[in-house]
Structure 1
Amino acid sequence: MRVFFVVFFFFTFNKDFVTSVVSCCPAELKQEINGKKETVKGFNVKLQDTILFPEGGGQPDDHGLIGDIPVLRVTRLGPEAVHFVCSSLQEGQQVHVKVDWERRFDHMQQHSGQHLITALADTMFGYKTTSWELGRQRSTIELDTPCVKPNQLQALEEAVNEKIRSQTPVTVQLLSIDDPAVRSRGLPEDHAGPIRIIDIEGVDANMCCGTHVSNLSHLQVIKLLGTEKGKKNKTNLLFLAGNRVLKYTEKSFNTERSLVSLLKTGPDDHVEAVDKLQKSVKLLQKTNLNILRDMAVLIAQNFKNNPQRGNFFSFHKKEGDNEFMNIIANEINTEETLVFLTVGEEKGPGLFLLAGPSGPVAELGPRVLEMLQGKGAGKNGRFQGKANSLSRREEVEAFLQQHCTHHTSEEE
Structure 2
Amino acid sequence: MQTEKLYDLDGYCRSFTAKVLSCEPLADAKKRKDGAAYGVVLDRTAFFPEGGGQTADTGNLGNACVLDVQEINGEIVHLVDVPLPAGEEMEAELNWEERFRKMQNHTGEHLISGIVHSQFGYDNVGFHLGTDGVTVDFSGVLTHAELEFVEYIANRVVGLNVPVTISYPSPEECSKMDYRSKLELTENIRIVTIEGWDVCACCAPHVSQTGAVGGIKILSAENWKGGVRIHMLCGLDARDDYQKRLEQTVRISNLLSCKQLEAADAVERVMKASQAEREETGKLRRALLDMKTAALQETDGNLVIFEDLLDQNSLRSLVNAGTAMAGGVCAGFQGNDADGYRYIIGSRNVKLREWAKAFNGALNGRGGGSDDMIQGTVKADADAIRAYFA
Normalised-by-shorter TM-score class: 0.7 to 0.9
Confirm whether residue 327 of structure 1 aligns to residue 323 of structure 2: no
Using the TM superposition, name which of 338-347 and 204-213 deviates more: 338-347
| 1:236 counterpart SS class | strand
SS in structure 2 opposite 1:14?
coil
Q: Match of 2:23?
A: 23
Aligned position for 2:344: 353
Quick one: which of 229, 236, 240 aligns to 2:233?
A: 240
Distance 1:289 1:146, change over 3 A: same
SS, match of residue 195 in structure 1: coil
Q: Deviations over 1:240-264 (max 9, x none)?
A: 3222332233333333332332111
Give the aligned partner of residue 206 of structure 2: 212
Q: Return the alpha-carbon distance in structure 2 between the equivalents of residues 132 and 145 of structure 1.
A: 15
The answer for unaligned runs of 5 or more in structure 2 is none
Report the counterpart of residue 216 of structure 2 in structure 1: 222
Among 255, 258, 264, the residue aligned to 2:257: 264
1:22-42 Cα offsets, whole Å, 9 max, x none, are 2131433777xxxxxxx4554
Residues 281 and 168 (structure 1 numbering): CA distance in 2 closer, same or farther, change over 3 Å?
A: same
> For 1:12-161, what aligned pairs fall within 5 Å after superposition?
12-21=11-20, 22-26=22-26, 27-28=28-29, 39=33, 41-48=35-42, 49-148=44-143, 150=145, 152-161=146-155
Amino acid at match of 1:104: R
Contact 1:145 / 1:233 at 8 angstroms: preserved in 2?
A: yes
Equivalent pair of 1:313/1:337 in contact (CA under 8 Å)? no
Deviations 1:2-41 (A, max 9, x none): 335x44413421112222442131433777xxxxxxx455
1:313 matched to 2:314? The reply is no
Distance 1:57 1:329, change over 3 A: same
State the secondary structure of the residue aligned to 2:264: helix
Amino acid at match of 2:72: L
Task: Decide whether the 8 Å contact of 1:44 with 1:82 is kept in 2.
Answer: no
Post-superposition shift, 1:329?
Answer: 0.8
Q: Which amino acid letter does the alignment assign opposite residue 3 of structure 1?
A: T
- In structure 1, what residue type is equivalent to 2:37? F
Q: Tell me, yes or no, if the aligned pair for 2:307 and 2:315 is still in contact at 8 Å.
A: no
Matched, 1:186 2:168: no
Letter in 2 for 1:231: W
Letter of the structure 1 residue corresponding to residue 344 of structure 2:
L
Deviations 1:135-165 (A, max 9, x none): 5344232222233251x33432332223223
Number of the residue aligned with 1:9: 8
**CA separation of 1:366 and 1:242: change in aligned 2, threshold 3 A:** farther
Alpha-carbon contact 1:17-1:51 (below 8 Å) kept:
yes
How far apart are residue 332 of structure 1 and its match? 0.8
Write the distance in 2 (CA, Å) between the matches of 1:236 and 1:345: 52
> Residues 95-153 of structure 1, C-alpha deviation per residue, up to 9 Å, x if partnerless?
33221111111111111111111111111121222212325344232222233251x33
Task: Give the superposed CA RMSD.
Answer: 4.2
Worse overlay, 331-340 or 207-216: 331-340
Counterparts of 2:169 and 2:285, CA distance in 1: 76
Residue deviations 1:167-187, cap 9 Å, x none? Answer: 221111235779854999737
Q: Is residue 61–residue 74 contact of structure 1 (8 Å, CA) maintained in 2?
A: yes
Counterpart check, 1:201 vs 2:191: no
Query: Take 1:346 and 1:90, find their aligned partners in 2: how far apart are those partners?
Result: 70
Q: Following the alignment from structure 2 to structure 1, what is the Cα–Cα distance between the partners of residues 233 and 224?
A: 22
Indicate the larger mover: 98-107 or 152-161: 152-161
| Contact 2:189/2:201 (8 A) holds in 1 | yes
1:298 Cα deviation from its structure 2 partner: 6.2
Identity of counterpart residues, as a percentage? 23
For the residue of structure 2 that corresponds to 1:96, the secondary structure is strand
Contact 1:24–1:91 (8 Å) recurs in 2: no
Unmatched 5+ residue regions in structure 1? 32-38, 406-412
Q: Give the Cα separation in 1 of the matches to 2:69 and 2:359.
A: 53
TM-score by length of 2: 0.78
Residue 197 to residue 359, structure 1, CA distance change in 2 (3 Å): farther
In 2: Cα distance, 1:353 partner to 1:220 partner: 61
Residues of 2 paired with 1:338 and 1:120: CA distance? Answer: 73
Deviations 1:37-73, CA, capped at 9 Å, x for gaps: xx45540321313322222111122222234544333
In the superposition, the TM-score normalised over structure 1's length comes to: 0.75
CA distance in 1, matches of 2:60, 2:341: 49
Decide whether the 8 Å contact of 2:15 with 2:92 is kept in 1.
Answer: yes
2:358 and 2:125 mapped to 1: Cα distance? 56
Tell me the secondary structure at the aligned position of residue 323 of structure 2: coil
In structure 2, C-alpha distance between the alignment counterparts of 1:345 and 1:13, rounded to whole Å: 66
SS of the residue 1:106 aligns to: helix
